[in-house]
Structure 1
């Protein structure tokens, strides 16, 4: 599953405790968490932040998924993209808009004005490092103060995730395809897909 670090063979008691907690919430300890576990205390906190951004944020589900995909595309993080592109469509985003985002085009979200506003807001943050007054006003009107704070938290979380995936070359699962033809191909390596709970 990852190129630059050897698979975890044995877990410390603390790693096993955190891995079990992650597995109980997410159905397994896989992908980036196999890297985060090298720093157990960071892993615990990152997992809690990620769980909030995915499951508890004030943003609607489709916009949570969109924020993840925008950060994934910005950093060319294929693992995140493959794990969530279908989820974004299931949550209500048009498949064509996701395909346009993968091609680094401005997506057409149809009548979903909130998705268009979020895309513009997130793109300005990630690309320009600042948000224009016009975009900020539109975001505030659409999402409110809490929504904007949650959006920044999501973009920060998913950017950190993307940097980890790219730095440690965490490759997609078998059967996943490369969504970014303009970016380096996936390293060819047999994946370590998940850790069993320590009690298993």
Structure 2
């Protein structure tokens, strides 16, 4: 990591760290960076907890939205932290492996493929087509779409933090993306920001 370890926490940092540990089982990874700005950390943690645990989206779609943002921003730490959670929640591993290779995941589940399409349009094109929006609204409802955008924003911010401060991968975990080594892109051919055409 680019920042030196936190040797001693201020009373406010310690208070927030204890709260994070009570909810998440430890203060690790990105929170060791967020704590440098304790008031931001408190708000980011609350938003992240809502997106992960309380959003109107089903659990598997919450986890999928995190992985889509992780792949879009090449955030290997968050991918490693959540791929098994997504699989356990019901997302097909084969589709996630294609996503990790920047291929269309081709999810068999219609909701998962629609969420992928919706998220990819806004992340890459910065707009959502009328057709995709109408399908998303019919499937996820207005609260679901608002929560999806909140989740993508939160998970994108998380990914940017992980990569900016070069938060180390979890011990013993592999690098999940074939075009990323450490914090460097090793293969630019075929890079389209997160999507390739289906084969």
Is 1:133 the counterpart of 2:130 in the alignment? yes
Query: In structure 1, what is the Cα distance between the partners aligned to 2:140 and 2:155?
Result: 19
SS at structure 2 position matched to 1:140: helix
SS at structure 2 position matched to 1:30: coil
Pairwise CA distance, 1:186:
5.8
TM-score by length of 2: 0.91
Query: In structure 1, what is the Cα distance between the partners aligned to 2:145 and 2:170?
Result: 33
Query: In structure 2, what is the Cα distance between the partners aligned to 1:186 and 1:104?
Result: 17
TM-score by length of 1: 0.90
CA deviation map 1:15-62 (0-9, x unaligned): 000000000000000000000000000000000000000000000000
Q: 1:28 aligns with which of 26, 29, 33?
A: 26
1:178–1:186: 8 Å Cα contact kept in structure 2? no
Query: In structure 2, what is the Cα distance between the partners aligned to 1:30 and 1:185?
Result: 19
2:66–2:151: 8 Å Cα contact kept in structure 1? yes
The equivalent residue for 1:50 is: 48
CA deviation map 1:161-194 (0-9, x unaligned): 000000000011111100112113269xxxxxxx
The equivalent residue for 2:39 is: 41
1:68–1:154: 8 Å Cα contact kept in structure 2? yes
Q: List runs of 5+ in structure 2 lacking aligned partners.
A: 185-199
Please provide the CA RMSD for this pair: 1.0
After the TM superposition, which parts of structure 1 deviate over 3 Å for at least 4 consecutive aligned residues?
A: none
| RCO comparison, higher one (Cα < 8 Å, 6+) | 1
Aligned residues: 184
